[in-house]
Amino acid sequence: MISQNVIDEIRDRADIVEVVSSYIPLKKAGQNWRALCPFHEEKSPSFNVHPAKRIFHCFGCGVGGNVIDFVMRHENLAFPDAVRLLADRYGIEIKETSRKVDEGRDRIYKAMASASAFYHKTLMESPLGGPVWRYLEKRGVPPELVDKFAIGYAPDKWDALASKFLKEGYDLPTLETAGLAKIGSAGKPVDRFRNRLMFPIRAVGGQVIAFGGRTLDDEQGPKYLNSPETPIYRKSNVLFGLDLAQQSARRENTLIIVEGYLDVVALHKAGVENCAAVSGTAFTPRQAEMIRRVCENVVALFDSDAAGVAAAKKSAPILMDAGLRPKVATLPGAKDPDDYIAANGAEAFKQRVAAAVAFPVFVTGATLAQTDMDSVEEKTRAAREILPFIARVRDGIERDQYLQSLAAKTGIDKRALERELRKEPGAPAAPGAAAPQARPGARAMAERILARVLLDNPSYLDTVAAGLTAEDFKDEAMRKAFELILRAHQQGAPDAAGVVNLAGDEASRALITSLALEAGLYDPEDASRAASDCVHRVRYDPAERKKSLNAQARAAEGRAAEEYSRARKKYMETRRK
């Protein structure tokens, strides 16, 4: 485990503006720096970085945190890996304390890195005329791409890796957990991968986390054998080649999605680096989120036949729901990019990608091509198949154009399509249907202003706000914010970044960064009086006071009625005498 002192030093030394601007372009806006948010789709910048407070916050999607949080999100890294990346950048030595879980993960990372080096060295030392090099030559993979992707070869032996690694000090449980070896039928360790071309699968940060092995003998086991899921590898969280594609994809604002490892290699050979592979698995929301951190547009290569359309219909909703803009490119006469480039050249492939059509256009054309346009029932069925995809388009003007196109092609009235569209989950409401947002009450605003003043001026907790407790706050979010501000003050944290560091979850970090960067809450020149007024409002809420007085009045009325009843009873008893 990385020591807290090192983490604190990284937070102090890392310039958040410098770090963020190395990923996205920032523009100065008063005390802040502003940009289009890299974590959600937007047209007006709502992503803010405050250098003095050392935090960022997006008022569009609500994400916020410190410099480590930003790197974790943008690089898709776990906390320790983000800390190590920043430590390397700023020349800070990592001093770690032991913890069994972290040590186990570290051993797996080291074993995977060593395995990658072992497989690659084995390939490079193999005879150039041997089977593995003949296969690479057949697929058109030159030595420079073998190096770039660290492609390797698993020897055709039962225990080439296992025996070597056990002698070098790796323990068998680590090799088993990493998916590199297992106990064979004879009770001895054997390699998982044998006689296979090996493709290291990397996290976006570059660490080897798994392998994909392509057999050189189709009679020997499955064509592809991948690593099992491990503590560091979840296949639904990975896209092959994304680590190498990030820079190019950001520059082009587009990522090309292909099917297999060799498709990615073939595109790099053609000079197309903004590409990654799903490796035979269906798209997942996690993969879509990873892409969204890099770019907005996705070009997927699908066949225009029924199977291709079905595959596109499964993938596109996940991409669209993540705020991405999926497009579809087809490669006529070729089964994969490698074949198409071999037959038509790299430039022709790039032209096909440039001509990719937005998914609603693709699904409309492909669905109507299989529809009997003389049948009312068939056209209605087709329209209902297409509308859910149009409903996912976030831009209203763009969505309207797709509806107009569908209406023109089917002859269905556009108003009927709009009525049907509004039935779809997540579709836009009818005009005028939006409910007005409630304005916060006086007490709620007082609590928010007070929390912000204390966040900016924690010393007030010892003066004008002395004795204030979390129970004084009725709003749950502001109560949580106050608890964090108070704890940070008690631990000597000097600013908003210190409070963010104490927040144990993403929601709490976003709460503090939103509060810290919200403009116009109070006049900093009059902070002390603002705090005093808000403390009075919070502690002596007029509504609560009125409620208390009403209760006292009702109690007094009750006592008066009771006294009157006793007096009347006594009078009546006197008269009877």
The Cα 391–Cα 403 span in angstroms is 9
Return the CATH class of domain 242-336: alpha beta
Do 245 and 295 touch, CB atoms closer than 8 A? no
Q: What is the pLDDT of residues 267-294, one digit of tens each?
A: 999 999 999 998 766 788 888 877 876 7
The Cα 10–Cα 95 span in angstroms is 12
Q: Which DSSP string corresponds to 375-396?
A: -HHHHHHHHHHHHHHHHT---H
Q: Quick one: what percent of the chain has pLDDT higher than 70?
A: 87
pLDDT number for residue 169: 93
Confidence tier at 437 by pLDDT (50, 70, 90): very low
Q: What's the rounded mean pLDDT across residues 229-250?
A: 88
Q: What's the rounded mean pLDDT across residues 562-568?
A: 66
Listed ranges 45-54, 85-94, 437-446, 568-577; the one with the highest mean pLDDT: 45-54
3-state SS, residue 438: coil
Do 35 and 26 touch, CB atoms closer than 8 A? yes
- Of 396, 387, 394, 392, residue with least CA distance to 417: 387
pLDDT number for residue 102: 61
pLDDT number for residue 119: 97
- The token duo for 448 is 């928010």
What is the DSSP-derived secondary structure letter of residue 44? S
Tell me the three-class secondary structure of 329-377, residue by residue: ECCCCCCCHHHHHHHHCHHHHHHHHHCCEEHHHHHHHHHHHCCCCCCHH
pLDDT number for residue 53: 85
pLDDT number for residue 435: 42
Residue matched to tokens 């320790």: 80
pLDDT number for residue 67: 92
pLDDT number for residue 304: 56
Element (H, E) at 65: strand 64-65
* Phi then psi dihedrals of residue 8, to 5 deg: -65, -40
Tell me the three-class secondary structure of 157-194, residue by residue: CCCHHHHHHHHCCCCHHHHHHCCCEEECCCCCEEECCC
* pLDDT: which is higher, 545 or 181: 181
Confidence tier at 433 by pLDDT (50, 70, 90): very low
**Helices marked H in 55-171:** 67-75, 79-89, 100-124, 131-138, 143-148, 160-167
The Cα 152–Cα 196 span in angstroms is 8
The Cα 456–Cα 459 span in angstroms is 9
What is the DSSP-derived secondary structure letter of residue 552? H
Q: What is the CATH number of domain 100-233?
A: 3.90.980.10
The Cα 18–Cα 29 span in angstroms is 16
Residue 538 has pLDDT above 80, yes or no: yes
Q: Cβ atoms within 10 A of the Cβ of 205, count?
A: 16
E-only strand ranges, 441-480? none
* Cα-based distances in Å from 56 to 14, 240, 291, 506: 13, 30, 21, 13
Domain 442-540 has CATH 3.40.50.720: no
- Of 271, 385, 257, residue with least CA distance to 327: 257
Q: 100-233 and 442-540 share one CATH topology?
A: no
pLDDT number for residue 158: 93
Q: In the chain, where are the structural domains located?
A: 4-89, 100-233, 242-336, 371-421, 442-540
- The token duo for 384 is 């209902």
Return the CATH class of domain 4-89: alpha beta
Q: What is the pLDDT of residues 49-73, one digit of tens each?
A: 998 788 999 999 999 999 999 999 8
Confidence tier at 440 by pLDDT (50, 70, 90): low
pLDDT number for residue 558: 62
